[in-house]
Amino acid sequence: MATERRFIDPHEVPSIPGTEGWEEMYPYYYVFGKGKTEREKYESSQFWFYDGVHYPFPMHPLDLIWDDMWHMTLSGFVSKVFVIPNSNGVDHKILNGYIYLAGTFPPKEEEEKRVPYVMARTGHYYERYEELYKVWMTKMMAVIDEMKTIHFPATLPWVSDDSYVFEHKGYFESDEILRAYDRMIQLAQRAWQLHMEMDGLAYGGYVNFIYTMRDLFPGITDKAIGQMLTGFTGEMFRPPAELQKLAQFATDLGIGETIKASDKWTDMGAKLGQTEPGKKWLAEVEAVREPWFEMSIGGGWHHMDVAWNDNLDVPLAHIKNYIKMLEKGERIDRPTEEVEKERHRVAAEYRGLITNDKDREVFDQRLGLARMVSIFPESHQFYIENWFHALFYRRAKELGQMFVSRGVLKDKDDIFFLNRFEIYPILYDTLASWCTGVPPVASYEIPPKIARRKEIYNKFKQWSPLPALGPAPDVVTEPNSIVLWGVTTEKIDMWLHAAGVKPEDVKELRGFAGSSGVVEGTAKVCLELEDIADLKAGDVLVGRMTAASWAPAFNVIAACVTDIGGTFCHAAIVAREYKMPAVVGVGNGTEIIKTGDKLRVDGDTGVVTILERAR
């Protein structure tokens, strides 16, 4: 009898010693069940994979809000708004602080019923996509602008402000603070509704193009498909471009040496502020900080991923590197003209292979659609995961500081160890105690709870999340899992096989051919932001996934290798824009490859070869 292809059941994963009771940190519906009910039968029957694309670290309870938001909004737009025939979206669960996903599907008999809806609704959007994107921008900016107006006081006053009396408002500070918290959560929900309004349509355009190309040209490579869709102009590339302009301006003003000699923005600013050229440069910085320094230092999914505006030493490091490259006569901007020329060449080459008008028309239509929708995936990330999330984190820390002033928390960042549903009653308790003049009950209850959660979280960080749970499908057909996460039939086979292989015995890894070219170089495994700062010219960046904010590093490195991702993940897109070899979705590269290993990265075939182990 053949052995069933499956990973460990989610209910059978051993507990991490010292983390007992961790489940109470998160909403109840996120946790795998413990009983013997229909719920557990469903969970055991599903194939779950770890979402390392978005969450390279375990989730703090408040940071889980973003996953919670897209848990509902993506699935809602898929199944209820655009009524996709063969998908109900993605279910989410949490295990030892890490997020696991499972595709969900409607009954087969419902698929045909959905077809008229999906044709009418997606057609309406695709026909007006560029126009609706401009409308989307107006809606998104309204959310951002309102988020800017929300604030929490660092301390609560001894008595209410005179305005509440003499302007006859009929309420006082506690009402405004409670409403501000409610509105902050509502705006987070609205931002993520907007995120998913056009996101699925954009990736749907990509998926349709991929499958059309494979139908028209059996055997076509991922590399060729990706090359036809290069030349992105989205806002995600604007922040590094602004740093490049600042580096060039500093060089032109003759202040490059002062900037290069500084490791801290405050020290540099003090020195530059004493000269006219320096003042001119600092004024230019202030002109672009809003919004282009609202770029997360990570992916924007964790509160540790603060924006450049919150840690100016990060953009300073990038500017210094650009100045050094300029002094060497090296190019610091993206080779946009070369990329676009290659895009047109490859597309024309494949179009020339088509022998009938009907297929040529399909080719033109699907290629045109995929290029048109590309404006969204590399733009919305800046407005939501970067700018909006940065604003949210600042407001949360303001609220955390107010809790600190009342003895509820020891540090403002401790608020991230509370989930969004727990904060409201604590806030109410804090405000009621301020009114009654007694210590808040939370000041006795919450500090020990936070201390315990910090212990648990630190143990979570030491655990390596399993790549998958539950029964392995014979064939992976869900297109988004393939395109975005790189979860393919071959990848699942590799995960199953890897369980019995020692990392040191592996000499070759296979993934997606994210960006063409072949290069040899020294591996630098990057798991933390600090690791990025250590990258040297010619290094091969090896990470679980790259964040958009790592784009300046692509001017330095020779190639990129990631554990997670598919043809249209961020790492693949950015690598193609910089004409740099990349292999994405290799599975467990950060476990097998060590810093100092000599690698050959083949972005044409999707193969990474370990040529020599570091000693």
CATH number of the structural domain spanning residue 535: 3.50.30.10
Sign of CA dihedral 405, 410, 416, 417: negative
| Of the candidates 540, 539, 542, the residue with the CA atom closest to the CA atom of residue 563 | 542
394 and 451 both lie in a single domain: yes
Examine the fold and report which residue of 461, 489, 521 is the final residue of a domain before the chain moves on: 461
- Measured in whole angstroms, how far is the alpha carbon of residue 111 from the centre of its chain? 31
Alpha-carbon Rg for the chain, nearest whole angstrom, is 25
Q: With 90 as the cut, is the pLDDT of residue 361 above it? A: yes
Q: With 80 as the cut, is the pLDDT of residue 479 above it? A: no
Entry field: residues in the chain: 615
**Contact by Cβ (8 Å): 50, 93:** no
How sure is the predictor about 339, in pLDDT bands with cuts at 50, 70 and 90? confident
How do 508-510 and 559-562 pair as beta strands? unpaired
**Contact by Cβ (8 Å): 65, 186:** no
- Sheet (strand 98-104) strand order: 89-95, 98-104, 48-50, 468-469
Rounded CA gap, 524 and 344, in Å? 34
**Contact by Cβ (8 Å): 23, 419:** no
575 and 513 both lie in a single domain: yes
pLDDT digits (tens, 9 = 90+) for 217-241: 998 987 888 889 887 777 888 999 9
pLDDT digits (tens, 9 = 90+) for 417-457: 999 999 999 999 999 999 999 999 999 999 999 999 999 99
pLDDT of residue 549: 65
**Is the preceding omega at residue 479 within 30 degrees of 0, hence cis?**
no
pLDDT of residue 494: 79
Q: With 80 as the cut, is the pLDDT of residue 528 above it? A: no
Backbone angles phi, psi at 556, to 5 degrees: -105, -45
- 256 belongs to a structural domain: yes
CA distances 103 to 48, 470, 572, Å, are 8, 13, 23
Cβ neighbours of 245 (radius 10 Å): 17
417 and 318 both lie in a single domain: no
pLDDT of residue 548: 64
Number of H helices, E strands in the chain: 23, 12
| Of the candidates 530, 528, 520, 615, the residue with the CA atom closest to the CA atom of residue 561 | 520
520 and 597 both lie in a single domain: yes
| Of the candidates 369, 380, 423, the residue with the CA atom closest to the CA atom of residue 193 | 380
- 196 belongs to a structural domain: yes
pLDDT digits (tens, 9 = 90+) for 559-599: 999 887 777 777 788 888 888 899 988 877 888 899 999 99
How do 98-104 and 518-525 pair as beta strands? unpaired
Rounded CA gap, 162 and 566, in Å? 58
CA distances 76 to 49, 71, 89, 426, 447, Å, are 21, 9, 7, 31, 37
- 167 belongs to a structural domain: yes
C-alpha dihedral over 388, 578, 260, 391, to 10 degrees?
0
Instruction: Please give the structure tokens belonging to residue 324.
Output: 């050094």
Instruction: Please give the structure tokens belonging to residue 449.
Output: 């709870």
Examine the fold and report which residue of 327, 355, 388 is the final residue of a domain before the chain moves on: 327
Q: Which is more confidently placed, 550 or 261? A: 261
- Measured in whole angstroms, how far is the alpha carbon of residue 561 from the centre of its chain? 17
Q: What average pLDDT does this structure show over 475-492? A: 76
Q: With 90 as the cut, is the pLDDT of residue 65 above it? A: yes
Rounded CA gap, 333 and 331, in Å? 6
242 and 162 both lie in a single domain: no
pLDDT digits (tens, 9 = 90+) for 368-417: 999 999 888 778 889 999 999 999 999 999 999 999 999 999 999 999 99
**Contact by Cβ (8 Å): 201, 130:** no
- 290 belongs to a structural domain: yes
- Helices 129-149 & 389-405 angle (0-180, nearest 10): 20
- Helices 265-272 & 313-327 angle (0-180, nearest 10): 60
Rounded CA gap, 324 and 370, in Å? 37
pLDDT of residue 400: 98
The 8-class DSSP code of residue 160 comes to -
**Contact by Cβ (8 Å): 566, 584:** yes
449 and 511 both lie in a single domain: no
How sure is the predictor about 58, in pLDDT bands with cuts at 50, 70 and 90? very high
**Contact by Cβ (8 Å): 44, 470:** yes
- 485 belongs to a structural domain: no
Beta-carbon contacts of residue 94 (< 8 Å; ≥ 6 apart): 26, 30, 31, 59, 64, 100
How sure is the predictor about 8, in pLDDT bands with cuts at 50, 70 and 90? very high
State the amino acid at position 361 in one-letter form.
E
Backbone angles phi, psi at 277, to 5 degrees: -60, -40
443 and 520 both lie in a single domain: no
**Contact by Cβ (8 Å): 481, 472:** no
Q: Which residues pair with 89 in a beta bridge?
A: 104
Q: With 90 as the cut, is the pLDDT of residue 505 above it? A: no
3-state SS record for 382-398 = HHHHHHHHHHHHHHHHH
Beta-carbon contacts of residue 147 (< 8 Å; ≥ 6 apart): 184, 187, 388, 391, 392, 395
Q: How many domains does the chain have?
A: 3
Examine the fold and report which residue of 442, 461, 480 is the final residue of a domain before the chain moves on: 461
Rounded CA gap, 419 and 233, in Å? 37
The 8-class DSSP code of residue 6 comes to B
* Residue 411 lies in domain: 131-201+377-461
184 and 255 both lie in a single domain: no
Beta-carbon contacts of residue 497 (< 8 Å; ≥ 6 apart): none
535 and 457 both lie in a single domain: no
- 193 belongs to a structural domain: yes
How do 48-50 and 468-469 pair as beta strands? antiparallel
Q: With 50 as the cut, is the pLDDT of residue 1 above it? A: no
- 602 belongs to a structural domain: yes
